[in-house]
Amino acid sequence: MLNSLGREIPEYIEGIGKLEPFQGALTKLSKGWMDEPTIPAPNKAYLPHQSKLCRTLEEAIIRSNPHNGMTVSFHHHLRNGDILLVQTLTILHNMGIREITLASSSLNECHDPILPYLVDGTVTRIFSSGIRSELGQAISKGVLDTPVVIHSHGGRVRCIHTGKIQIDLAVIPASAADCEGNATGSHGKSAFGSIGYAVIDARYAKQVIVVTDNLVNFPCIPLSISQNFIDHVVLVDSIGDASKIATGTTRITNSPMDLRIAKLAADVIEHSGFFVPGFAFQVGAGGASLAVAKFIREKMKTKGLKGSFMLGGITSYCVDMLNEGLFETIFDVQSFDAVVSNSLLNNRHHIEIPAALYANPFNCGCITNKIDVVVLGALEIDVDFNVNVITGSEGKIRGASGGHSDTASGAKLTVVVCPSFRGRIPIIKKRVHTIVTPGETVHVLVTERGTCVNPAFPELEANLRKAGLNIKDIHDLEIEVDKITGIPAPLEYTDKIVGVVEYRDGTIIDVIHQLKEK
């Protein structure tokens, strides 16, 4: 069957179930409720003064009823410094546990060591918002029989509510925790800031293990994760490589190209009609996307303009803007450097939020619904403004859906920033390999060679033209870039589906096919 973007979606996939085709960004939400029933969270009981402390992670896992076919979940707040996902799966592998469903909120390069477990059947299904490096390559080549499911950050919460992901065991690294499992990421030697993605896991997993390298006296404050959901607590020497978890402050890029794109994007925002007192703003954590914040910060100071809140993945740059009074509040679901952890801990206007409040489409108002302006990156964008952030130009899985579609859906102005080509590969396509974010939720594309406005938003285009910005038709820009790079040969795929891309409402926006071996 075809979804509304013309992508062929199977009706059913073994190991995943019946699929519902994407029908529009707000079609399912406009009903006002979610049709799928919500599964109940488990109820558990502990006796007074019963100890939750385990001597080792292995002991905690043994006490958590490991079994074949279980689902194990993790958060990715430790980014590329995480070591516990690999340790946990190794323990389960050594116990002979098979057919595990891995439900990590994202997967990074540091998780490559689990690749043998995909090959030998220890792990047979994966749900995640992002997959990179060797894991992504292997999955693209078809290492798993069941396609991976790529969801957004908000969509993951819905997946857990509906039972699509039924977590048997959640392993939650925390930089500080107490003996009851009250836990946080905001202090300790391995501080990583917000632990927002793990809150839903703690609430819904049948068994929850908090692992920390910093066991503090009861109670651990703040209670980012609270003890009433935690079964076991483990003290370890280290939860990860601190140098890769969070370091220092975020630096704005020095790349002239990224700075050029960022400056153009800031001009777009300034003249869009949404750069007004009280505006809410989200930017990414690196490259051109973060650099937009630099120019917006200057424009806000020049105009004496004060915003409402910043949201999302938070960098030290966002904290600086909060401290300068440019914004009143930060809502932080994920923190990117050490300075952010300090701010989260000490500034009451810097608020830690769970993924559900951040971006779950099926509640009475996630905060992404309140965004005025979001700046997002892209691996590819097509002439219909559909954006791919999951598969690279060579067709392999190497990125993350993350909050891309969540924030684009909520923002009044979604600005996608990217170079018009990378290396010799054009980024603007007639048709992207994989759609993650539908073009109907993308307002503007900013590249170094010009700005393109989605024709669905003529008033915005009029505003930008009036301001004298260099606006091009996206079809013209595509042709201009193709003239420079040439048109790459089309990728060759087999019929086997290796990945299913869920839109945030649970419908299927695209599938990823296995790459043909050359």
- In the complex, the residues that contact other proteins under the rule CB under 8 A are 254, 256-257, 259-260, 263, 448-449, 480, 484
DSSP secondary structure string for all residues of 432-475: -SS-SB-GGG--EEEETTEEEE-TT-HHHHHHHHHTT--B--HH
CB of 263 to other proteins, least distance (A): 7
CB of 254 to other proteins, least distance (A): 7
CB of 262 to other proteins, least distance (A): 12
Nearest in space to 497 (alpha carbons), one of 139, 159, 151, 155: 139
**Tokens in use for 330?**
């930060």
Rounded to whole angstroms, the maximal C-alpha distance in the chain is 72
Nearer to other proteins, 448 or 482 (CB): 448
Give the CA angle between residues 409, 411, 413 to the nearest 5°. Answer: 120
CB of 246 to other proteins, least distance (A): 25
CB of 489 to other proteins, least distance (A): 22
Q: How is residue 115 annotated by DSSP? A: H
**Tokens in use for 166?**
């039924």
Q: Which amino acid belongs to residue 419?
A: P
DSSP, collapsed to helix, strand or coil, labels residue 108 as coil
CB of 245 to other proteins, least distance (A): 28
**Tokens in use for 375?**
């700046």
CB of 251 to other proteins, least distance (A): 12
CB 404 within 8 A of CB 389: yes
CA distance linking residue 267 with residue 275, whole number of Å? 10
**Tokens in use for 298?**
């200057």
CB 132 within 8 A of CB 107: yes
CB of 304 to other proteins, least distance (A): 16
Contacts of 359 (CB under 8 A, 6+ apart): 152, 153, 154, 157, 333, 366, 367, 368, 403, 406, 407, 410, 504
CA distance linking residue 355 with residue 482, whole number of Å? 39
DSSP secondary structure string for all residues of 1-21: -B-TTS-B--SEETTTEE--B
Nearer to other proteins, 38 or 470 (CB): 470
Give the CA angle between residues 192, 196, 197 to the nearest 5°. Answer: 100
How much is the CA Rg of the chain, to the nearest whole Å?
Answer: 22
495 CB neighbour count, 10 Å cutoff: 6
Nearer to other proteins, 138 or 261 (CB): 261
Nearer to other proteins, 341 or 451 (CB): 451
Nearer to other proteins, 247 or 470 (CB): 470
Nearer to other proteins, 8 or 476 (CB): 476
Nearer to other proteins, 165 or 474 (CB): 474
Nearer to other proteins, 72 or 293 (CB): 293
Q: Which amino acid belongs to residue 64?
A: S
CB 92 within 8 A of CB 61: yes
Nearer to other proteins, 96 or 423 (CB): 423
Nearer to other proteins, 51 or 470 (CB): 470
CB of 376 to other proteins, least distance (A): 21
Nearer to other proteins, 264 or 442 (CB): 264
Nearer to other proteins, 50 or 254 (CB): 254
CB of 86 to other proteins, least distance (A): 38
Nearest in space to 351 (alpha carbons), one of 173, 192, 193: 193
Do the bridges between strand 387-388 and strand 350-352 make them parallel or antiparallel, or are there none, so unpaired? unpaired
CB of 282 to other proteins, least distance (A): 25
Q: Taking the CA of residue 199 as centre, how many other CA atoms within 13 Å lie in the half-sphere pointing to its CB?
A: 23
CB of 189 to other proteins, least distance (A): 32
